[in-house]
Amino acid sequence: MGVYIAGVGMTKVGERWDKGIVDLAEEAAINALEDANIKKIDYVIVSNMVTEFSNRYGNLSGAIVDAIGMIGTPYFRVETACGSGGSAVHLAYSIVKGMGKNVLVIGVEKLSDFVTTVNTSAMMLAEDWVTGLNVGGTFVSLNALALRYYLERFNADHDQIMMLPVICHKHALTNPYAQFRREITLEMVKKSPVVADPLHLLECSAYGDGAAALVLSPDKGDVEIVASVVATDVFRVPNRADPLIFKSVKLAAQKAYTKAKVTPSDINVLEMHDAFSITGVIAFEDLGFAKKGEGWKMMKEEVIGLNGRFPTNTFGGLKARGHPVGATGVYQIAEIALQLRGEAGDNQVENANIGLAENIGGIATTAAVHILRRKNQVR
């Protein structure tokens, strides 16, 4: 059975003091349902990382299903830290493929109800609290260590890596849902405060609230999910053989390419998980778009820009569209769907037939890779 994207919906990402977590989920869900125009939804899957910690909900999916008037419908919350969105879409895909059901996936996160220091703790929950935060590590500092090691080992140019957030911000300018719709320059990234040496503030995604939703169907929609693969890796980064390889991403991507019968060179549009600049560079390599240690060279307009060889994070990515954690993986797939439908507006990539979305949880403890294809290909 095929699995199609019948509808997409999103909210603006940002500090959404105007709405609660259930309201955000409702807005995205209603948009996706209207877009899909499907009467019967058989399952609702909510992806969210830290609601119990940050919003005091222990039955969030129940509250959301009530709010959208779908009482009676089975609901589930799925969580795999920052990878919750991709994981939820994968489970939804499995249900559509195996059982022929219509599934509504809603990714949502609201962090701004809490103060920043608590959010730093919240994000560290994605890694190991005992051997991490308790000894002074944070999610930012772990990624800073990766960047430092990468720069030294591959003799990489940090300035070139900093072009990733610069290009992402450029893409976000014309995205009405983006958290940061303003241009930044390389100079601004370099002058921004060092959060954890050598990682600068403008290389890090920020805290954002938001929700995105998809309706998956076995028969309706112009975009097909031709591969949905999840793979995982050793939990604690210090225990890995090579901290600069995301094995989960590599494994999931290889399986996805095989399943979709494509290679990286066939991909017309890419959404990758740039929680930090270095996270994006490593993913770009492990997805097969560059050799290990050479991804940093590709962080330029000619490669990842809207008219580049591999248009990447075309709505701004985690850095500029925003990173509402449990929702991020759903945003990515919604954005790829808009590109393949030719509905990306000012952000449209030409001849977008095949797209790929990569979402990770923890420091790639888990990875979900989705490959999407336009039903009636254009050339």
Give how far the C-alpha of residue 351 lies from the chain's centroid of Cα atoms, to the nearest Å.
23
- Please state, in angstroms and rounded to a whole number, the distance separating the CA atoms of residues 225 and 324: 23
The one segment of 176-184, 200-208, 227-235, 333-341 that binds a copy of itself by CB under 8 A: 227-235
Q: Using alpha carbons, select from 317, 342, 150 the residue that is nearest to residue 244.
A: 150
Q: Residues in contact with a copy of itself, total (CB under 8 A)?
A: 55
81 binds a copy of itself (CB under 8 A): yes
82 is catalytic: yes
367 neighbors 275 (Cβ within 8 angstroms): no
Distance CA 48, CA 53 (A): 11
DSSP 230: E
In this chain, which stretch among 246-254, 281-289, 301-309, 331-339 interacts with a copy of itself, using CB under 8 A? 246-254
- Answer for which of 52, 183, 219, 242 binds a copy of itself (CB under 8 A) is 52
Nearer Cβ to a copy of itself (12/370) = 370
Q: By CB under 8 A, name the one of 11, 31, 61, 314 that touches a copy of itself.
A: 61
Residue 323 catalytic? yes
Given 82, 171, 273, 370, the catalytic residue: 82
> What DSSP character marks residue 266?
G
In whole angstroms, what separates CA 355 from the centre of its chain?
A: 13
Is residue 114 near a copy of itself by the rule CB under 8 A?
Answer: no
103-109: strand order across its sheet:
43-47, 103-109, 210-217, 4-10, 223-232, 366-374, 354-361, 269-271
**Taking CB under 8 A as the rule, does residue 310 contact a copy of itself?**
no
Tell me which of 141, 232, 254, 348 binds a copy of itself, using CB under 8 A: 232
Angle between helix 328-340 and helix 84-99 axes, rounded to 10 deg: 60
Q: Indicate the DSSP class of residue 276.
A: B
- Rounded to a whole number of angstroms, the minimum distance from the CB of residue 230 to a copy of itself is 4
Residue 61 one-letter amino acid: S
Q: Which of 158, 200, 323, 370 is catalytic?
A: 323
Q: How far is the CB of 247 from a copy of itself (least distance, A)?
A: 8
Per CB under 8 A, the list member of 140, 230, 340, 354 interacting with a copy of itself is 230
Which conformational region is residue 349 in: left (phi greater than 0), alpha (psi within -120 to 50 degrees), or beta?
beta
Min CB(265)–a copy of itself separation in Å: 26
Report if residue 53 touches a copy of itself, rule: CB under 8 A: yes
Chain residues that interact with a copy of itself, rule: CB under 8 A: 49-50, 52-53, 56-59, 61-63, 65-67, 71-81, 87, 90-91, 94-95, 97-99, 122-129, 230-236, 247-248, 251, 361-362, 365-366
Active-site residue set: 82, 323
